[in-house]
Amino acid sequence: MKLAARVLALVALLSGVAAASLMAQQRADAARVRQQLIGTYKLISYVSYDQNGNTTKQPYSAGQINYDAAGRMSAQLMRADVPAASGAQAAGVQGGRGGGSAGYVAYFGRYEIDAEQGIVTHHVEGSVSSNMLGSAMPRYYEFSPDGETLFLQTKNGGRVTGRLQWDRYR
């Protein structure tokens, strides 16, 4: 009986050590990804995929995404097909209120990395779109071999719905 208790205790101890080692490895992987992610990137392309896998190029002509060492991020995308504003709209005024967000996506907040799943989650704290506030937006990340290009994918279940290519500013 004592031998069985000792073996069980040893197994529990080794399991705890293995779990702690795995957690330390995951933290190290997340720290490595964070170091690679930190920086400011320019939007190169944004494509979406329908349920049949057909690709549609999205009309966003300019964009920037930023990740900092403090775990903060911001993203901005601007459509190319929005007509130029005039008068009060050009001044950013719409019916006496700040406006001008049509065709523009902008948000900021903290980000969190799950290195094991290859996900960076954007936690939206502020946005030009009030329906984004408080949302957690997972993005599946990949880096080019040289680390200068970041690819972010959106998914619905296991299906890729969008892919954005961002090139690091240098």
pLDDT at site 88: 53
Decide if 145 contacts 151 (C-beta within 8 A).
no
CA 70, distance to chain mean position in Å, is: 15
pLDDT at site 123: 98
pLDDT at site 83: 74
pLDDT at site 95: 43
2-168, what's its fold? Lipocalin (2.40.128)
Decide if 76 contacts 66 (C-beta within 8 A).
no
For the chain, which residues make up each domain, given as ranges? Answer: 2-168
Identify the CA nearest to 129 among candidates 154, 157, 99, 156. Answer: 99
pTM of the model: 0.76
pLDDT, one tens digit for every residue, the chain (170 residues):
676 666 555 455 445 544 444 444 445 699 999 999 999 999 999 999 999 999 999 999 899 999 999 999 999 999 988 777 665 555 554 443 344 577 899 999 999 999 999 999 999 999 999 999 999 999 999 999 999 999 999 999 999 999 999 999 98
Residue tagged 């197994």 (tokens): 11
